[in-house]
């Protein structure tokens, strides 16, 4: 079982209800009793991406746990990042893909974005990260 600062845990069968000090309730599953994400990569470097293009990548995963996983939502840090994911339950042994597209219009230099997966998997929340170097087209910037 995991320990979270500022939270009180109550065991209910194979689930643990956490009551955080702010009054937020969160359900977690005991390790070994829930689905579990196993990603091929949790961080991706997309290299050079021209400004104005979409920086895109996919995060492939497998459910290596004993129960199905439902992804409730995936939070991105800003409106420039669009994420799609499997909306069906991912059964034990099944694979899935999370697709990410980041709009780079108005960006330049190194960007680093993270995604927070909210699910009923063993960790509850899971963090993914991608980076890119947005390169401004010198011809376009002279003409603009």
| CA dihedral sign of residues 36, 84, 43, 62 | positive
* Secondary structure, 3-state, 24-39: CEEEEECCCCCCCEEE
What residue spans define the domains of the chain?
Answer: 1-30, 36-137
pLDDT digits (tens, 9 = 90+) for 66-111: 999 999 999 998 888 999 999 999 999 999 999 999 999 988 899 9
In which element (H, E) is residue 142 found?
A: helix 138-143
More confident residue, 69 or 9: 69
In which element (H, E) is residue 93 found?
A: none
Q: Which CATH number fits domain 36-137: 2.60.40.10, 3.40.50.970, 2.60.120.200, 1.10.357.10?
A: 2.60.40.10
Q: End-to-end alpha-carbon separation of the chain, Å? A: 57
* pLDDT of 133 strictly over 60: yes
User: What gap in Å lies between CA 114 and CA 59, rounded to an integer?
Assistant: 12
Q: What was the pLDDT predicted at 10?
A: 38
The whole model's pTM is what? 0.72
Q: What was the pLDDT predicted at 118?
A: 94
User: What gap in Å lies between CA 130 and CA 114, rounded to an integer?
Assistant: 6
Banded model confidence at residue 139, pLDDT cuts 50, 70, 90: low
| Averaged confidence pLDDT in the chain | 80
Strands 15-20 and 7-12: antiparallel
For 50-76, what is the mean pLDDT? Answer: 94
Q: Do residues 20 and 5 lie in contact, with contact meaning Cβ atoms separated by under 8 Å?
A: no
Adjacent-strand bridge partners of 81:
102
Q: What was the pLDDT predicted at 140?
A: 52
Q: What was the pLDDT predicted at 9?
A: 37
Edge-to-edge strand order for the sheet containing 81-84? 37-39, 54-63, 95-103, 81-84
């Amino acid at each position: 079982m995991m320990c979270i600062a500022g939270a009180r845990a109550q065991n209910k069968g194979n689930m643990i209800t956490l009551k955080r000090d702010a009054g937020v309730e969160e359900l977690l599953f005991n390790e070994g009793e829930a689905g579990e994400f196993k990603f091929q990569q949790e961080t991706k470097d997309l290299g050079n991406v021209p400004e104005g293009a979409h920086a895109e990548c996919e995060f492939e995963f497998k459910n290596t746990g004993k129960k199905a996983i439902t992804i409730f939502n995936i939070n991105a840090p800003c409106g420039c990042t669009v994420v799609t994911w499997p909306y069906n339950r991912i059964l034990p042994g099944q694979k899935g893909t999370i697709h990410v597209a980041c709009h780079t219009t108005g960006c330049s230099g190194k960007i680093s974005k993270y995604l927070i997966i909210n699910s009923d998997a063993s960790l509850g929340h899971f963090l993914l990260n991608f980076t890119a170097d947005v390169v401004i087209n010198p011809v376009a910037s002279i003409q603009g």
